[in-house]
Amino acid sequence: MWLNPEEVLLKNALKLWITERSNDFFLLQRRRGHGEPTGRITGLLVGALDTVLDSNARVTPFRILLQVPGSQISWVIASGAAIEEVNKHWDWLVHNLLHSLSVFENKEDVASFVKGKVKGLIAEEVRGRQAAQEDDPEKFREALLKFELHFGLPSSEKLVTYYSCCCWKGRVPRQGFLYLSINHMAFYSFLLGKEVKFVIPWAELTRLERVSTGLMTEAIRVNTRKRQREFSMFLNLDEAFGVIGQLADIALRRLLDSEGLELDRVLQQPTRITKRILEEQAIREYVLALFRLPRGEKLHEVASCSVWTPHARCHTAGTLYTTDSYLCFSSREEGNCILLIPLSEVLSIEKAESTSLLPNPVIVSVRTKKAFQLIELQDRDELVENLNSRLRSLQWKQSMFRSRKDGKRSMSSPTPYYTFYYDTGFSDEEEIEEQVLRNTVNSEALMTAFHQNQPGTNGNKSMEQVKERLWEDHFTEFGRGVHMFRTEKIQRLVAMGIPESLRGELWMTLSDASSELESHQGYYTGLVQKSMGHSSLATEEIERDLHRSLPDHPAFQNPTGIAALRRVLTAYAHRNPRIGYCQSMNILASVLLLYAKEEEAFWLLVAVCERMLPDYFNRRVIGAQVDQSVFEELIRERLPELAEQVPDLSALSSVSLSWFLTLFLSVLPFHSAVCVVDCFFFHGIKAIFQLGLAALDANAVQLSASTDDGQALMILTSFLDQVGSEASSCVPSSQPPALETSSSSDTDIPAVRHTNITDLINESYEKFGDLTVRQIERLRCRHRIQVLQAHEDTTKENALRVVTPDVSISPENLADVYDLFKTEHFISLYWGDSSSAAAAEAAAWRYSDSGSYMERQYRLDRPQFKSLFGLLVPWPGGPNQHTDTLANRTFTLLDQDCSNLVTFKEFAFWLDTLYCEELNEKIRLLYRLHIPPALTESEDDPSLMKSPLVSTNRPLYVNLPTADPDGQGEVKDYQEQLKQMLKDLAREKEKDVEKPLPLMNQREFIQFCKTLYSMFHGDSEENDLFQAIATVTSLVLQIGEASHRGNRPGSEVTSQEEARGADTAKETAEDASRGDGSSAAESEWTISYAQILASLLTEQALVNFFEKSVDLSAKIAVAKEKQYHQRAGLLTLHQGTR
């Protein structure tokens, strides 16, 4: 074990210790006499000496010393009773520390560095032993206090775990602690009098990988958009890398795509996340992926055991996983033997008598009169009790469901809802037929009615019969149904292609859609009744794609097939509006309908969209893009020669998008593609990865020689077009023959030999079959980070592209302002209360202009805006009450649509006016901040005035008079409204250059002056500015009094532009006064914008102040430093007063 470094004199140590291994910095020593023949005098003397000198215990016989070259003093840093234990410590030092120590010039620094590292390892070992009591470990509390002290984050920033490690700065390692919290990773080091600390939000993490370099054996590299950092010398690098990846993945899902990605309920509450929950969640994600279980399943127990496998006539060792509704078993080597038992199929779970040959046996009996024997179960009694409890609960729910269903059936019409209706011809009553078909659920697979019978199919029929016999033999040996044993033998049968007569049944079995169907009797028919006839965006897209689904197949050249496809897709869109309908779902559903009954096809579609391809079918197809990115890494790893010849693999991975989205259905001939779907239902997404790698491997030579992306695409397209099967002669390829001929005769693309799909699938298993579900899930976790951040980059680029042409702020500064804007949004998600966080996240999504999908757009609410306002305003006045008031007014002014949210575009225009516009525009902005709607009747209640100005957005129906009985008045009024709208639009165009502003009354002018005094406070020319504004105020008051005595309502005309809008301003003021029931415009003191501007121009000090250039870059840099802690303090204070 590691020891707190303790000094020893080397010359004295050599008398009692023998050096076994050594290098420049470390010695491994054995206690003299230990391991030597019994009875030797040296061993007896040393043993006696140990007893005299150490009355507590004997000295451990092995130890490791840290030595500094040229010094007689060394430090004991590890010891052990067995040579194996000490050798592990020695190997760790050699592999992780020895190479790094050579960079130190001062050898004393070596001792300090190693001692600090060892102390960190000891702390980590203690924490590891206390992990089971993490609720109250002293070391964890100590680390939490240090975390809060060093980084100053709010107490709601929950620390999950921490690690002792080194952060590299160039070639120099900094020993310290890496703290991992729910929103950040933070590093702190204090070594040799130097402090190093930094915080990286998970939202800024763009890439996470493990690397090896010359100085570091292995390290974790963390990339952000700004820089890259490397951490090494972890006691357990695998664990640290896994936890970092998990926390980053969870945070990015929650922060960047909460509307699209599904996140477990436990993880949606960040304050509940602990290291133990992360470990459980990692196992759960693996189990869900391996057995393709519903995403809502909760993992309960994980136990090592052995299952009796009759086909092998022995017990197979592995792991038992129990969830809400399933018993799952997997052999130690993933894929060798898998067993899935739905609890809905279980009759009883009983303990049997334990013997030496069958320790702790449990018998699980299922409905098919079969029983499964599990042995070597630890904590058997508790496990069986928990399983029986869940079983009883499930059986009670099933009995209640059946009783309700029977009651409904007795009250319903005797005519069954399920009918069988096929009509391959077309009659004169097509409209009536279409109506019938829309509401008739098919009770057979479409293939039974639309199977093509062509000459020369006898050989294929005999092949089908052979396959059927092989499968019947397999059922006899391995079982039939969901709970059959899934081994390598079934893999070979699936690769041959499942016979058509069994395809629907086996798809239902392998995906366990049969259990969903069994437990939801009548669910689909109810959905069909609810969804048919409803119109939505999803149904419009479905109607558009219905006739594009397998157009060459006769089943979808007929109203029967089209109607069945419509029902399945519409019912699913109604079931899961979060997904609704996505392109490629129509192709998949078409194939499912060919081989499965309609209701079965629906549940197969549910299994694919919600379990087997999670996150694929959302508005941004994140899941498919993640797998594309994973596929690119697998190409580099598994096909290194191809990756070396084709450095940019993005083209190859982009071609693969359709492979993943349609399971090769859109690129392979029909019968070949269906064989791929067979493999997919057996092995999940792993089958698609393997087949994709095999396709690239088969064309590696041609792809390496290709000169551009187009040629590479043609090579792969030509190859996939010619992948055939034994049944390929029955149904023609989805590609027309002319295309095949032209592609094969193309001089640029070499002819590709005919490849059998079974051979290609077998080759994919032979070469790439060692790819495991666990590896895929780990890769997905890392690559999801990159995909989500790529979407964030696109969102940022789109926002900047819209704003940049209309502002004078430099692109670099504008990008930094966007980052501040987005960070302000994230801070509310980090530390705001749950309601404000939910509101902030909901505000970050809006429908696109077409309304077809939702897109990311960050918007700030009032508290967020006020925080950023205080950081970026150019005048020197610090935070005070009036600054807060001015921020409120600015927000109200920018919130033009009264949504209580400000977009980045509005924020950027405001900032551009303050920093880049001319003096008159800055004064215009200040003027607008002191008249309605920005200035409200009560500053404490930032609501609009009771009588706001006339809106320029004129609604079509406003104050419509009662229509005439014949309806002519309504039509006439409608036309009048249209004419008025056109007039308004014409007037808006005239006033687009510069609209005249309403007049300012005395109360508003006083507020205007207060704002100017507040802005000047703290300026270097403060005295001159105060004197100047006093002069201007006096002048403006005199002008206002003169106007008031002259009783001149309206706005003063001082320019040609003001003259054009004078009448409009006058009407506006009169309308507002009439709304209040007073004649304010005739009696109040008023002043115009032009008069205030002219008065301010008379004072050079004021002109210099407003024309003075302010460095926005410096302001942004300061804002980045202050934003976190200032906002965190405000949120903490707000929560404390609740």
The string of DSSP letters for 103-135 reads T-SSHHHHHHHHHHHHHHHHHHHHHHHTGGGTT
* Burial class of 622 by CB neighbour count within 10 A (0 to 12, 13 to 18, 19+): buried
The pLDDT of residue 842 = 65
Query: Are 349 and 364 within 8 A, CB to CB?
Result: yes
Alpha helices for 769-843 (secondary structure H): 773-803, 811-831, 834-843
Question: What pLDDT, on a 0 to 100 scale, did the predictor assign at position 957?
Answer: 34
* Integer angstrom CA distances of residue 498 from 128, 470, 682: 50, 10, 11
Model pLDDT, residue 844: 65
- The answer to pTM > 0.85 is no
Distance between terminal CA atoms of the chain?
Answer: 49
Query: HSE on the CB side for 584, CA within 13 Å?
Result: 21
- Higher pLDDT: 552 or 1075? It is 552
Contact 662, 617 (CB under 8 A): no
pLDDT of residue 626: 93
Q: Which helix (H) or strand (E) holds 569?
A: helix 559-575
C-alpha pair distances (Å), 1009 with each of 51, 217, 927: 89, 66, 10
DSSP 906-939: HHHHHHHHHHHS-HHHHHHHHHHTTSTTTS-S-T
Type of residue numbered 3? L
Note the pLDDT tens digit of each residue in 454-489.
Answer: 444 455 778 889 999 999 999 999 999 898 999 989
pLDDT at residue 133, as a whole number: 40
DSSP letter (8 states) at residue 274: -
Q: Decide if pLDDT at 1069 tops 70.
A: no
Q: What is the pLDDT of residue 1128?
A: 62
Q: What is the pLDDT of residue 646?
A: 84
pLDDT at 121 over 50: yes
28-35 LR contacts (CB < 8 Å, sep 24+): 28/62, 28/63, 28/64, 28/86, 28/87, 28/90, 29/62, 29/63, 29/64, 29/65, 30/61, 30/62, 30/83, 31/59, 31/60, 31/61, 31/62, 31/63, 34/61, 34/62, 35/61
pLDDT-derived band at 742, boundaries 50, 70, 90 = very low
Q: Tell me, what's the pLDDT at 1056?
A: 42
Residue 262 has pLDDT above 90, yes or no: no
Supply the pLDDT for residue 780.
93
- Write the pLDDT tens digit of every residue in 293-306: 998 899 999 999 99
Q: What b/e readout covers 1013-1043, taking b as 16+ CB neighbours within 10 angstroms? A: bbbbbebeeeebbbebbeebbebbbebbeeb
Average per-residue pLDDT for the chain? 79
Looking up tokens 């397209």 gives 717
| Residue/partner pairs of 1031-1035 with CB below 8 Å, 24 or more apart | 1031/1098, 1031/1099, 1032/1095, 1032/1096, 1032/1098, 1032/1099, 1032/1102, 1033/1009, 1035/1095, 1035/1098
Structure-token match 């695998």, residue found: 238
Distance (Å, whole) CA 194 – CA 191: 5
Q: Looking at this protein, which amino acid is placed at residue 1009?
A: C
Q: Backbone dihedral region of 649: left (phi > 0), alpha (psi from -120 to 50 degrees) or beta?
A: alpha
Pick the residue with more confidence: 337 or 127?
337
Going by pLDDT thresholds of 50, 70 and 90, the confidence category of residue 743 is very low
- Count of CB atoms within 10 A of residue 427's CB? 8
Return d(Cα 42, Cα 1086) in angstroms, integer: 109
- For 488-498, how does the pLDDT look when each residue is reduced to its tens digit (9 = 90+)? 899 899 999 99
Quickly state the pLDDT bin for 435 (edges 50, 70, 90).
low
pLDDT tops 50 at residue 374 = yes
Long-range contacts: 816-820, Cβ < 8 Å, 24+?
A: 816/1113, 816/1116, 816/1120, 817/872, 817/907, 817/908, 817/911, 817/1116, 818/904, 820/868, 820/871, 820/872, 820/1116, 820/1119, 820/1120, 820/1123
Q: Give the chain's radius of gyration (CA, Å).
A: 38
* pLDDT of 746 above 80: no
pLDDT of residue 765: 93
CB atoms within 10 A of CB 745: 9
Q: Where are the beta strands (DSSP E) in 519-576?
A: none
3-state secondary structure of 188: strand
On the CB side of 156, CA atoms within 13 Å amount to 18
Residue 221 has φ and ψ, to the nearest 5°, of -105, 125
Predicted confidence band of residue 990 (pLDDT cuts 50, 70, 90): low
Q: What pLDDT shows up at residue 425?
A: 38
Residue 601 has phi, psi (to 5 degrees) of: -60, -40
Q: Is residue 976 over pLDDT 70? A: no
Residue 836: per-residue pLDDT? 60
pLDDT at 657: 86
pLDDT grade for 951, boundaries at 50, 70 and 90: very low
β-strand partners of 196: 189
Q: Could you give the CA distance from residue 869 to residue 890 in angstroms, rounded to a whole number? A: 9
pLDDT at 163: 93
Token pair, residue 296, equals 């809502």
CA–CA gap between residue 592 and residue 445 (Å, rounded): 9
Q: What is the pLDDT of residues 234-251, one digit of tens each?
A: 888 999 999 999 999 999
- Alpha-carbon span 1036 to 1030, nearest angstrom: 10
Q: What b/e readout covers 652-666, taking b as 16+ CB neighbours within 10 angstroms?
A: bbebbbbbbbbbbbe
For the stretch 596-646, pLDDT in tens is 999 999 999 999 999 999 888 877 888 999 999 999 999 999 999 998 888
- Cis status of the peptide bond prior to 933, with omega within 30 of 0: yes
Q: Would you say residue 308 has pLDDT above 80?
A: yes
At CA 1032, angle to CA 1030 and CA 1036, rounded to 5? 120
Higher pLDDT, 130 or 344: 344
Residue 996: per-residue pLDDT:
81
Given this model, what pLDDT does residue 1052 score? Answer: 42
How far apart CA 535 and CA 564 sit, in angstroms, is 17
Helix (H, G, I), strand (E, B) or coil at 306: strand
- How far apart, in whole angstroms, are the C-alpha atoms of residue 155 and residue 797? 35
Q: For the chain, what percent of residues have pLDDT higher than 90?
A: 38
Asked if 856 contacts 840 with a C-beta cutoff of 8 angstroms, the reply is no
Tokens found for residue 391 = 């079983």
Residue linked to tokens 């009770």 = 443
Length of the chain: 1138
Average pLDDT over residues 1101-1123: 90
Lowest mean pLDDT among 190-194, 812-816, 944-948: 944-948
DSSP per-residue codes, 1031-1044: HHHHHHHHHHHHHH
**Token reading at 333:** 């080597």
pLDDT score for 100: 77
Q: What is the pLDDT of residue 1071?
A: 42
Q: Confirm if 63 and 86 have CB atoms less than 8 A apart.
A: yes
Position 452 scores a pLDDT of 53
CA distance 254 to 1131: 20
Residue 621 sits at the vertex; the CA angle it makes with 618 and 623, to the nearest 5 degrees, is 105
Which range among 66-80, 777-791, 1065-1079 has the greatest average pLDDT?
777-791
Give the contacts of 579 (CB within 8 A, at least 6 positions apart): 572, 573, 609, 617, 618
